[in-house]
Amino acid sequence: MGAKLFTPFTVKGVTLKNRIVMSPMCMYSCPNEDGMVENWHRTHYASRAVGQAGLIIIEATAVTPQGRISPNDLGIWNDDHIQGLKELAGLVKEHGSAIGIQLAHAGRKAVLEGEIIAPSALAFNEKSKTPKEMTKQEIDETIEAFRKAAERSKKAGLDVIELHGAHGYLINEFLSPLSNRRTDEYGGSAENRYRFLRQIIEAVNTVWDGPLFVRVSAHDYDEDGLTPEDYVQIAKWMKEQGVDLIDVSSGAVVPARINVYPGYQVKYSEMIREGAGIATGAVGLITSGIQAEEILQNERADLILIGREFLRDPYWPRTAAKELGVEIEPPKQYERGWK
Ligand SMILES: Cc1cc2nc3c(=O)[nH]c(=O)nc-3n(C[C@H](O)[C@H](O)[C@H](O)COP(=O)(O)O)c2cc1C
């Protein structure tokens, strides 16, 4: 019997050779503070492609300079960013992996000089800066920045776009009532809090017809916050808008204590997958092939995202295959040392 982990997954004409996805992870490796792809990114992402990941999702990449988490973030706010991303896409695809990008705006979590923006003028915690409440014009401009970023992603030859709607960054800040206290059409009801993401998806859909994923934080871990049940409804709306997969993470919209253990977010993926009838990705303390296989076979997710374990082991797919007793093809150059 083969392992489901090593079966292909096709979405909107893009086929991933297996279900293993490198989770987006910020590298903060743009020393010139210009958001440009550097040698670090080339080495880091190409290594995981040599290691046989089915899909590699490039780290949170800022759609505006003000939307960076730090000055050293990768960027896609300018046409000058296209060339570096195109080279990166070429390097990764050369090894048979698909490549995606996580489009992001940090909102109130930006640690930058100058003004930062968010749905409401509420700081994340006592140490962080108080953001300025976004005007309608700033909302429109940000939606347009996501659209332009999607257009640039296409020009760079990227296979998948993932919108970063998790971890307390801007999109998440609009979704959660804990960070969104607006009284206009972008705040109040669940529909209103979803409006910003709805309009981003609409805008992206005008220029992008490839696979579209959205990462969410399915639990705010706060009694007044959002729960996985709320995200089932949000996922239904996303499905109606043509989103292909929900990448299910959790937390970080407000400071909260989270009880973490192996696979701690998998149950949220399962709930959203069943409740909304949409493909999901599971992430969070998934470190072994057996764990990944259990999640897929029990239909708790369609893709497995690996974060820190991929930092420790760039050839994690090989490690997982050995554990599951299946053989996967090595890069030709490594045939003599792969088994
Ligand atoms: C160094 C580092 C950077 C990260 N950057 C991002 C990011 O850019 N976008 C994101 O959605 N999650 C980010 N995360 C979260 C990971 O993608 C992943 O969801 C999390 O680490 C849990 O998975 P794991 O237990 O397999 O590491 C980051 C995590 C780490 C360790």
pLDDT above 70: percentage of residues in the chain: 100
Q: What is the pLDDT of residue 281?
A: 99
Residues 6+ apart with CB under 8 A from 236: 275, 276, 278
Contact yes or no for 254/289 (Cβ under 8 A): no
Overall average pLDDT of the 291-297 stretch: 98
Q: Which two tokens stand for residue 203?
A: 């805008």
Ligand 1 mutation pick, 22, 25, 261, max ligand atoms within 8 A of CB: 25
pLDDT digits (tens, 9 = 90+) for 40-91: 999 999 999 999 999 999 999 999 999 999 999 999 999 999 999 999 999 9
- Ligand 1 centroid to Cα of residue 305, in Å, is 10
User: Does position 338 have pLDDT exceeding 90, yes or no?
Assistant: no
- Ligand 1 centroid to Cα of residue 322, in Å, is 25
Return mean pLDDT, the chain: 97
Q: What is the pLDDT of residue 1?
A: 60
Give the whole-angstrom CA distance, residue 215 versus residue 75: 18
Q: Which atom from ligand 1 is nearest to the alpha carbon of 215?
A: 11
pLDDT digits (tens, 9 = 90+) for 77-92: 999 999 999 999 999 9
Ligand 1 mutation pick, 103, 291, 305, 308, max ligand atoms within 8 A of CB: 308
Quick count: other Cβ atoms within 10 Å of Cβ 298?
10
Q: What is the pTM of this model?
A: 0.98
Overall average pLDDT of the 156-181 stretch: 98
Strand pairing category for 55-62 and 98-104: parallel
Contact yes or no for 144/105 (Cβ under 8 A): no
Overall average pLDDT of the 100-125 stretch: 97
Q: What is the pLDDT of residue 99?
A: 98
When pLDDT is cut at 50, 70 and 90, the band that residue 193 belongs to is: very high
- Ligand 1 centroid to Cα of residue 211, in Å, is 21
pLDDT digits (tens, 9 = 90+) for 167-176: 999 999 999 9
pLDDT above 90: percentage of residues in the chain: 99
When pLDDT is cut at 50, 70 and 90, the band that residue 2 belongs to is: confident
Overall average pLDDT of the 318-327 stretch: 97
Q: What is the pLDDT of residue 207?
A: 98
- Encode 266-293 in three state secondary structure: HHHHHHHHHHHCCEEEEECCCCCHHHHH
Q: Which atom from ligand 1 is nearest to the alpha carbon of 286?
A: 26
User: Does position 97 have pLDDT exceeding 70, yes or no?
Assistant: yes
> How does DSSP classify residue 115?
-
Q: Which two tokens stand for residue 276?
A: 């909304």
> How does DSSP classify residue 336?
G
HSE-up (13 A, CA, CB side) for residue 21: 32
User: Does position 264 have pLDDT exceeding 70, yes or no?
Assistant: yes
